[in-house]
Amino acid sequence: MRENALKRKLQSGEFVIGPFMNCSYGAFIEIVGMAGFDYAIIDMEHGPLEVETAEDLCRAAQGVGLSPIVRVRKNDAPQIQRALDIGSAGVQVPQIETGEGAEAVVRAAKYAPLGMRGLSFYTRAGDYTMYGVEGYTDRLNDEQLVIIHVEGVTGLQNLDAIIAVPHIDVVFLGPYDLSQSFGIPGQVNDPRVIKGMEEATAKIRAAGKAAGTYAGDAATAKRWIDAGVQYISLGVDVGIFANACRDLVAQVRG
């Protein structure tokens, strides 16, 4: 079973950075690992990826020491189970608004006695039974990360109940959806968004969990790291490529 280096870094108080991945080409996620990122989020919510591709991206990532996280489309037990069964380092679940919603994520992501995740030993996560099955469920319960998004006003209002739920490792604050929830879509630097995220980060850290968020550039990432955020999603593969292409053309054409 693969040790979850990302979880160890978070537990030791380090900050970690990793982009969202929409592309299916394994070389992109290998390059992300070679470049020094800690993890990558294989995006099955907004990206076009399906589970077979996500599994191959997990293989490519882990081959270069990168921790693959799979973001599912919604808080749905079969989706959460499949995201973990393919051998990812963890699952990321969007749009959590209540304590009950957070509890449902844990039930789907953890084996008994912590949850009710469907059990099969013949998965990539279980090494296809090649190394035996004794202690398998306990080890995966310990190793695989559970990450939830709080990205709306309702979620902020219910944050105390959400962060009280055990076995959640990271609470990810989604600035873009949060701005939309405030009625100001895309205005992620609006004082209302910033204040809500700063207050939420302090609560999350006080509850003994890691806070996460998205940053589109290095300056924003550093600002949130200084505010106590450990889990920084830095850019999106297609956006990074788009910016590089635009900048290269501009340099040549002036």
List active site positions.
46
Nearest to 87 by CA among 35, 131, 114, 123: 123
Q: Which residues contact 130 (CB under 8 A, 6 or more apart)?
A: none
Integer Cα distance of 230 and 65 in angstroms: 19
**Distance (Å, rounded) from C-alpha 185 to C-alpha 26?**
33
Q: Where are the strands (E) in the chain, listed by range?
A: 16-21, 39-43, 67-71, 90-93, 145-150, 170-173, 210-215, 231-236
- With tokens 């991945």, the residue in question is 21
Start-to-end Cα distance in the chain:
52
Q: Angle 240-79-221 (CA atoms, 0-180°, nearest 5)? A: 30
Q: At which residue do the structure tokens 């309702």 appear?
A: 154
